[in-house]
Amino acid sequence: SYSGILALENASISLADFNITKAFVKLNQNDLNIENASVKNGFLEADFNAKFDLQKQQGNFNTQISRLYFDNGELLDLKNQNVEVKLDYSQNVNISIPQWNLILNFKDGLEANLNNPKILFSFSPLLKKLGFINAKNVYYKTLNFEDFNASVNDAYFKNNLLINGQTPYENDSFDIV
């Protein structure tokens, strides 16, 4: 029989370089609940409640993202978003955000598949500046978090470029390696 209650305040998780401002953790057999948690690191500020089924090795997070940002907010600056985050660590570590149609797999480095890229384009000053409007899919793969491959499938954008000086260049797919 396992049960316990733990209150965290100003704790750190070294694996992800997270500072936990506060959290209330309850364990009852195979159920682990995290309540009123606040986390922060170099790219994320969020509050969440989470429920884990330790036997199934799955968890659900009801998350209020205060800010999620990369490159000082130039690449991405997402603010005030309420999302459900699903974690499955039964075989590999998989994280999904259903409302964004995002799946992250951490088996070998990171593989990200975003099937609703409009969320990315809506909160990216850089992509807005480049005229991106939407895409069918964005895929990203890295083994070491330094070198990566990325692809954008069926992207739509507005700009002043013309094909052969006549037709507006508004749609394309491309890879970055």
What are the pLDDT digits (tens) for 60-114?
A: 999 999 999 988 899 889 999 999 999 999 999 999 999 999 999 989 889 999 9
Cα separation, 117 vs 136, whole angstroms: 7
Interior/surface letters 105-130, b for 16+ CB within 10 angstroms, e for the rest: beeeebbbebebbebbbebbeebeee
What is the three-state SS of 112-123? EEECCCHHHHHC
Mean confidence (pLDDT) of the chain: 91
**CB 70, CB 62: distance < 8 Å:** no
Q: Structure pTM?
A: 0.85
**CB 43, CB 21: distance < 8 Å:** no
Give the model confidence (pLDDT) of 23-45 as tens digits: 999 999 999 999 999 999 888 99
Is it the case that residue 14 has pLDDT exceeding 70? no
Tally of CA atoms within 13 A in the half-sphere of 150 that contains its CB: 10
Name residue 88's amino acid.
D
Reading the block at residue 37, the tokens are: 């948690």
Give the model confidence (pLDDT) of 136-153 as tens digits: 999 999 998 788 999 999
pLDDT for the residue 48 = 96
In 33-171, alpha helices (H): 118-122, 125-129
CA 157 to chain centre: 23
**CB 49, CB 28: distance < 8 Å:** no
